[in-house]
Amino acid sequence: MTKVKAIIVDDERLARVNLRKLLNPHAEIEIAGEASSCEEAVSLINIYNPQLIFLDIQLSGETGFDLLELIDNSIEIVFVTAYDEYAIRAFEVNAVDYLLKPVNPERLKVTIERYINRDHTDKHEVRSYEYSDSIYVRLNNYSSRFIKINTITFIEPVGNYSKIVTLEGKHCLVLKTLKQWQEELPDNNFVRIHRSSIVNIEHVERIEKKSNACQRAYLKNLSEPLEISRRYAKNLKSFN
């Protein structure tokens, strides 16, 4: 049997010990090492080249997501955390699963089976977000945050990126096309109204028709309306 090489990254020694014990019965997983910080984790990764990381979200003075910005995205991640405040089903990373501490042995077994049985050749599978989910995005070179899907007001393209604008007026750039967003966002809540914009219909206050060829959507907390193209106008018929 070919073993899966993995490392554990957690700033609490006892948590690492407990997780290692829980993983002992799973002969298919080989724990190559443990790290308490991103720096230690990077060193281990360079030495052992693991396929899988059991990663805590909250580390001392940093987060597990800081590590993801330093490593190859082909390494797969199982998040292990004491925090359940996020309704997370998918990240902007290739997350296998999300486990809550204290880790339940049966739940861990499900995670291992999910990892072993998944198709590792397809790294570009379409994700499907739910309206209550959160996504993890980088705001700039120095900070990142979670954004709740239901707070997104609209998305527009910016070169090879797309800009997300939220109800609070916050915005960030994500390396993803509008076509990708269309495939991933819940279509009961988000609609394409133009080749350059996707809107959250829950945040549309009104639609004004200037002429047969010109309609505009006014969104909450947005000073200027967005143009609705004739091609995509049918997407908003159920709203009118």
| 124 falls within a domain | no
The pLDDT value given to residue 142? 52
Does the pTM of the predicted model rise above 0.75? no
Which one has a higher pLDDT value, 124 or 207?
207
> Does residue 99 sit in the same domain as residue 144?
no
| 125 falls within a domain | no
pLDDT > 80? residue 220: yes
> Does residue 88 sit in the same domain as residue 170?
no
> Does residue 9 sit in the same domain as residue 99?
yes
> Does residue 103 sit in the same domain as residue 166?
no
> Does residue 26 sit in the same domain as residue 90?
yes
> Does residue 84 sit in the same domain as residue 188?
no
Query: Mean pLDDT over residues 67-75, rounded?
Result: 77
pLDDT > 80? residue 92: no
**CATH number of the domain to which 29 belongs:** 3.40.50.2300
**CATH number of the domain to which 228 belongs:** 2.40.50.1020
Question: What is the domain range of residue 38?
Answer: 4-117
> What total number of domains does the chain contain?
2
> Does residue 8 sit in the same domain as residue 113?
yes
Least confident of 44-48, 86-90, 98-102, 222-226: 86-90
Which one has a higher pLDDT value, 16 or 80?
16
The model's confidence at residue 182, banded by pLDDT at 50, 70 and 90, is: confident
The pLDDT value given to residue 108? 94
Query: Mean pLDDT over residues 6-34, rounded?
Result: 96
For the stretch 46-66, pLDDT in tens is: 999 999 999 998 889 888 878
The pLDDT value given to residue 90? 36
Which one has a higher pLDDT value, 40 or 142?
40
> Does residue 17 sit in the same domain as residue 45?
yes
> Does residue 139 sit in the same domain as residue 184?
yes
> Does residue 101 sit in the same domain as residue 179?
no
| 48 falls within a domain | yes
The pLDDT value given to residue 32? 96
The pLDDT value given to residue 74? 74
The pLDDT value given to residue 124? 47
Pick the last residue of a domain from 117, 142, 161.
Answer: 117
SS3 for the chain is CCCEEEEEECCCHHHHHHHHHHHCCCCCEEEEEEECCHHHHHHHHHHHCCCEEEECCEECCEEHHHHHCCCCCCCEEEEEECCCCCCCCCCCCCEEEEEECCCCHHHHHHHHHHHHHCCCCCCCCCCCCCCCCEEEEECCCCCEEEEEHHHEEEEEEECCEEEEEECCCCEEEECCCHHHHHHHCCCCCEEEEECCEEEEHHHEEEEEEEECCEEEEEECCCCCCEEECCCCHHHHCCCC
> Does residue 108 sit in the same domain as residue 55?
yes
| 123 falls within a domain | no
| 122 falls within a domain | no
The model's confidence at residue 104, banded by pLDDT at 50, 70 and 90, is: very high
| 83 falls within a domain | yes
| 105 falls within a domain | yes
| 190 falls within a domain | yes
CA distance 49 to 26: 20
> Does residue 147 sit in the same domain as residue 232?
yes
